[in-house]
Amino acid sequence: MSNYLKIGEFSRLMQTTVKTLRLYEQRGLLLPARIDPDSGYRYYTVAQMQQLNSIRSLKRLGFSLEEIRDLFDCDSIVPPLDALSAKIRATEAQLAELIERRNLLSAWLNSRQKLSEMDKITIESLPQIIVASHRRIIPDYNALGPLCVNVIGPEMLRLGCKCAQPGYCFTIEHATEYRPTDIDIEYCEQVEQALADSAIIQFKTLPEVPMALCFKHIGPYTEFYRSYTEAFAYIEQHGYRIAGHPRASYIDGPWNQSDEANYLSIIQIPIEKA
C-alpha cells in the first residue's frame, strides 16, 4: 500500500516549490499519483521522490524537460549512449564559448580599469597621424553608427586600409554653430599608410598637436555639452586657450553597449598657453 503525500508536504520534503511540481505535471514529467475528484488535491507517492531526483540529475547534465519526458516515455531514466555523447559535444562547445566570453570580458575589464585609473582630465600631445577621412552632412548623431558600419567601413576594407593598432577613430564637427540636425561632421580613422582617394574616403596627414586637453566623457553623445562645459572651464581657469578643432574619440559606443549611459568617449581639445 502506497503512502500518499499531499503536494505541499511532498514539496517541503523534496525542497521543490509547488510551482515547479505543477510545471512538471503540465509537461507530463511528474504526474500526481492521485487527484481527489472533489477537492482537486494532488497526492504523490514515496516512489515519485526518486523520479523527482532523476529529473533534477538529468537537468544538471543539461537535458531539457522535453528530453527528460521522452526518456520517461521510454520507461528509462538513463540516457542512451548516443544522447550522452551528444551532450558531451554540446557541453564542450558551450565551454569553448564561455572561455572565449570570459577572455573578452577580462580584456574589457582590464581596459576599463585602466581608463578608470586615468584622470578625468589630462594634458597630452597628439602625434602626427595618417587618417582615412570621410566628411558629410548627417541628419543626427544616431546616423553616425550606421554610416561607419554600412559605408565607411566597407569602403576602407575595399581600399585595403590597414588600421593602426591600437585603433584610433574620432570625429570633428565643422559647423560654426550648434545644429541638432544636418550636422557637418568628419569621421577620421588612423591608418598605417595613405592610399589612393576614392569618392568616399580621402587620406590626409594630420599634424602633431603639441598639447591637447583630454576629457573622459561617460554617457550619451547628446550630453557632450556637459563635458565641454567642464573642459572649457578648466582651460580658462588654467591659463590656456583653444588652438584647433576639438575631436571626439570613441572608446565604447553603440557597437558594444546597449545602454547610452555606458558610452565612453575622449574629448580632445588642442590648446596652447594663453
Calculate mean pLDDT across residues 31-53: 91
Q: How far apart are CA 260 and CA 257, in angstroms?
A: 7
pLDDT at residue 248 tops 70? yes
pLDDT at residue 115 tops 60? no
pLDDT digit string, tens, across residues 170-203: 999 887 776 678 889 999 999 999 999 999 999 9
pLDDT at residue 31 tops 60? yes
Counting residues of the chain whose pLDDT is more than 90, the rounded percentage is 47
pLDDT at residue 220 tops 60? yes
pLDDT at residue 79 tops 90? no
Q: Residue 263 is placed in which grid cell?
A: 558610452
CATH 3.40.50.300 fits 4-77, yes or no: no
Q: How confident is the model at residue 109 (pLDDT cuts 50, 70, 90)?
A: confident
The DSSP secondary structure of the chain, one letter per residue, reads -PPEEEHHHHHHHHT--HHHHHHHHHTTSS--SEE-TTT--EEEETHHHHHHHHHHHHHHTT--HHHHHHHHHTT-SS--HHHHHHHHHHHHHHHHHHHHHHHHHHHHHHHHHHHHHS-SEEEEEE--EEEEEEEEEESSGGGHHHHIIIIIHHHHHHHT--B-SS--EEEEE--SS--SSSEEEEEEEEBSS-----SS-EEEEEPPEEEEEEEEEES-GGGHHHHHHHHHHHHHHTTEEE-S--EEEEEE-TTT-SSGGG-EEEEEEEEEE-
| Per-residue pLDDT, 274 | 84
More confident residue, 100 or 117: 100
Q: Domain spanning 121-273: which CATH class is it, in words?
A: alpha beta
Q: How far apart are CA 124 and CA 269, in angstroms?
A: 10
Phi, psi of 214 (to 5 degrees): -110, 120
pLDDT at residue 118 tops 60? no
Calculate mean pLDDT across residues 92-105: 89
Phi, psi of 100 (to 5 degrees): -65, -40
| Per-residue pLDDT, 47 | 86
| Per-residue pLDDT, 210 | 95
pLDDT at residue 262 tops 90? no
The residues pairing with 135 across neighbouring beta strands, listed in sequence order, are 186
| Per-residue pLDDT, 114 | 56
Give the residue among 240, 222, 244 at the shortest CA–CA distance from 231: 240
Q: How confident is the model at residue 155 (pLDDT cuts 50, 70, 90)?
A: very high
Phi, psi of 218 (to 5 degrees): -115, 120
| Per-residue pLDDT, 142 | 79
Q: Are 218 and 263 in contact (CB under 8 A)?
A: yes
Taking all residues of the chain, what is their mean pLDDT, rounded to a whole number?
Answer: 88
pLDDT at residue 27 tops 80? yes
Calculate mean pLDDT across residues 208-215: 95
pLDDT at residue 71 tops 90? no
261 residue type, one letter: A
Domain edges within the chain: 4-77, 80-117, 121-273
